[in-house]
Amino acid sequence: MPILAQLTRLYESRGIEISTGLNPSHFGDHPYAPFTWFIRDGKSVTEGLGISLQEIYFLECLFEHFQPRRLFVIGNSAGWSTLALALLNPGGQVLAIDAGFDTSSLEGIDLTNRIAAEEALPAQAVKGVSPADVGRLIGEHDMAPVDFAFIDGYHTVEQVELDFEAIRPHATPGCVYLFHDVQNFGLHPALDRAAGRGGLVWELLLGTSSGMGIMYHPAHPPPCLDDIAAFKARPAAVEILKRAAWARKHRHLARWQRSFRKRFGGASA
């Protein structure tokens, strides 16, 4: 079910304006324009932006037929994705951890918990550092076995591998792992190695703003693959768009090439 209006209301009713899904081309090709900004008194309140409007829609599709019971999140920030997961999985339980290193992220933990309590949402955020605190917190909050994990913490290849390995011993064989910012931060090697060690497969979702990655065990495919198929860019489409992007960036050279082919290609024919 669509949750965007309800999710937005959770913040705006508490004095935080939401901006999400803006077209980068309208803002000087700013790469972070599509993501969710939290604004109070005309200022951005945190450096940890939320997942984009398009990625909220992706989650709506993902959980149309896939209904995990225990959802674990690394990286809470202002709680946007944590609360979205709770809205989409009212029969489950969401636990998010955040190291508290980013501006206002500790305030974000408090805000997440206040909203969840006031709105009776099945979500909780706690301070914790991955990988050191993952197993302990999963145990303390009775979150094992995890059947959905959203990894959106520190975006380096090394840290993403550590995050995955910290969760895996506490996850079901059919756990679905969703990684944010794979394409934007070049995290592909982390997913390649993680999948190889775990006997899993992963797919890049270029139809999401950050280029998310989804990983699962091929013997336990989740019942959502058809629902999210449109977010997997077809190879032919990727090649066409790469050429179109090159031609737009180098339009003068592209125009000269077309003219050259027209003149000399036609003459030689």
Residues 6+ apart with CB under 8 A from 90: 121, 122
CA distance 65 to 225: 10
Q: What angle do CA 224, 158, 191 make, to 5 degrees?
A: 25
Half-sphere exposure of 139 (CA within 13 A, CB side): 7
CA distance 112 to 133: 19
pLDDT for the residue 46: 86
* pLDDT per residue as tens digits for the range 173-225: 999 999 999 999 999 999 999 999 989 999 999 999 999 999 999 999 999 99
What does the radius of gyration of the chain's CA atoms come to, in whole angstroms? 21
**Cβ contact 206:47 at 8 Å:** no
CA distances from 253 to 240, 241, 244 (A): 18, 17, 13
CA distances from 205 to 196, 227, 234 (A): 19, 13, 10
CA distance 165 to 96: 17
Name the stretches of the chain with pLDDT < 50: 260, 267-269
pLDDT for the residue 199: 95
Give SS3 for 163.
helix
**Cβ contact 79:111 at 8 Å:** yes
**Cβ contact 15:45 at 8 Å:** no
CA distance 204 to 212: 6
Domain extents in the chain: 4-231, 242-268
Sheet with 70-74, edge to edge strand ranges: 123-127, 93-98, 70-74, 146-151, 171-179, 212-216, 201-205
Provide long-range contacts, Cβ within 8 A and 24+ apart, for 215-218: 215/176, 215/177, 215/178, 215/179, 215/191, 216/174, 216/175, 216/176, 216/177, 217/173, 217/174, 217/175
Give the pair of three-digit tokens for residue 2.
Answer: 């669509």
Tell how strand 43-44 and strand 37-40 pair up: antiparallel
**Cβ contact 258:265 at 8 Å:** no
pLDDT for the residue 254: 55
CATH code of the domain made up of 4-231: 3.40.50.150
